[in-house]
Amino acid sequence: MTFDLQYTDSKTNARAGLITTDHGTIRTPIFMPVGTLGSVKAVHMTELENDVKAQIILGNTYHLYLRPGLEILEKAGGLHKFNSWNRPILTDSGGFQVFSLSGNRKLREEGAEFRSHIDGSKHLFTPEKVMDIQRTIGADIIMAFDECCPGDADYAYAKKSLELTERWLDRCMARFNSTEPKYGYGQSLFPIVQGCVYPDLRKAAAEHVAARNADGNAIGGLAVGEPIEKMYEMIELVNGILPHDKPRYLMGVGTPVNLLEAIERGVDMFDCIMPTRNGRNGQLFTKNGVMNMRNKKWADDFSPLEAGGASYVDTLYTKAYLRHLFVSDELLGLQIASVHNLAFYLWLVNEAREHILAGDFSTWKSAMVRQLSNRL
């Protein structure tokens, strides 16, 4: 994997670049739709390619390890062939999922022992095993195994957690460097900066990660309960330390406004379940603000979903029709809303890129944040 930093905004830290993998080139800043189990919920691969214009999607190590399992994925020739997605894929290591299973897992130096949410069976994720699993899944970009500590963790817990994550990172890198990809194309390992909301921990973590000289770096453990101002503070601090010539990936964030604020602070890559999850619940993100499609006000509104929208569904369907689908529990409503929201997120980061390259990102971003914050 290579990264070409093409332009940095003169007034902010916003960047435009190109990530090149064996499965294609990614223009940054970029949003990556979440395909936890190998599929982006309610969206066809053809829609992802042609309408959403996704350049890279995510899979999840924890979930794919449990279902369909490594034997099936290896027989298929890896996740790309299994799900018919021929563009880049990134896999999360499962650290966040293990974190979310706090009632069903035990952390120790060796790794994380947990019980499956499917059948209660017991499993152990070690840093070495997680590297092996992601080799078998076959993503272009794979993540180090970490502990994602809660946003409200006290200092002592956050410090202990970070120290464990750093020891695990060393083991991840040793395993990654001593093994080879399985399917004839390259893979890149991204370390993850943790440290909760404590500046000295985040600084130490960023320095530890930067020294590893990986192909790219991730910022984890944010948007997990901490105040939003703290999230932005930690992003700014960490990005002041991470290498400028490597892509920076902010994990699990966030709203459209979150994306623009993080881009302004130098983030290149994002993922979040929000566009599809919120879409399935009837919430649409638009250039002019957020719409709740279950509201009565849309019942006889026969205007397009969004004039000049990013997706074909925006002009094909009306607000009244989409509201009808949601109040009638019709599955098509989930698909339309998911396609719209993902296309909007990809449109937003592409617009950010264009304004970075044009040199007027700061002015555009300020106006866009005001619009995005409206409730329609």
Q: Which residues are catalytic?
A: 92, 271
- 359: phi > 0 → left, psi -120 to 50 → alpha, else beta; which? left
Q: Are strands 192-193 and 24-28 parallel, antiparallel or unpaired?
A: unpaired
Cα 334 to Cα 49, 69, 137: the distances in Å are 18, 27, 28
